[in-house]
Chain A
Amino acid sequence: MAAVVTKYGFVETAKLMTAVDSPVAWATMALGTGSQTENTDVATLSTEITEASGLSRVSAATVTTASSATAADTAKYAHTWTSTKGSTVNVKECGVLNASAAGDMLCYATFTNAIPMESGDTLQVTWSVQVKAG
């Protein structure tokens, strides 16, 4: 019932800062129908939606920087999914990843109230992650 930036996100960030081990930036977003306890060890969605439903993993429509405290100090990922499935899909989790399959998950969240996606429904998810001193 929370949201986390995973330890894998921090590791990949360090690799991107040093260009070590062929790091890959984040540009894909995924939804799932499962849920799990959220902590920084979460590596994958519990039950990622992979079937043809309009709700599977995508290249995020928006991958950019935004300005929070300083210009361009925030990574922003956003996408709007449209369900094409004939039956209801209860979306319970979402994440930002850096591959079209598998990959490293930057951040993860569950939805406190499952989102019942019916055909034609849209779900917009926007993540903002600021780089700053903790």
Chain B
Amino acid sequence: MSKGRTEAGQFAVMEFEHKKADGTILSRGKRIIDLLGRRRIIEKGVFQNKPYERILTQKGEVLYESTGNILVDAFKKLQVIFFERR
């Protein structure tokens, strides 16, 4: 899964993959430090066989989260829009 490089707008990326000895993937994901002041973190991954995506601040505050069937907290989504426009 590892690309080993950054993409447009990204500054640094940490990717991880946790496997059992038989090769079964238990979890994997990546964290991205983007170029917006290096303050917004995008995390995508799989946990317990469900995909998830989170956007966090550098302080670790979750601004947006989607898991499984894309459950979105409307309030957090509004926060993301506000955050993007600051």
Contacts and interface: CB of A to CB of B under 8 A. Distances in A.
A120 B20 contact: yes
A117 B18 contact: yes
A90 B80 CA distance: 31
Contact of A123 (B16, B54, B60, B62): B16
Contact of A38 (B8, B11, B16, B60): B60
Interface string A55-81: 000000010001111000010101000
B66 interface: no
Given A115-B27, A121-B26, A124-B16, A1 B11 contact: no
A113 to B, nearest CB: 5
Q: Is the contact region of chain B dominated by helix, strand, or loop, or is it mixed?
A: strand
9 contacts: A1-B43, A1-B60, A4-B58, A74-B5, A107-B14, A124-B17, A126-B13, A128-B3, A128-B5
B59 A111 contact: no
A121 B21 contact: yes
Given A3-B14, A120-B21, A132-B11, 10 more contacts: A1-B41, A68-B6, A109-B31, A121-B18, A123-B16, A124-B2, A124-B19, A128-B5, A130-B5, A134-B35
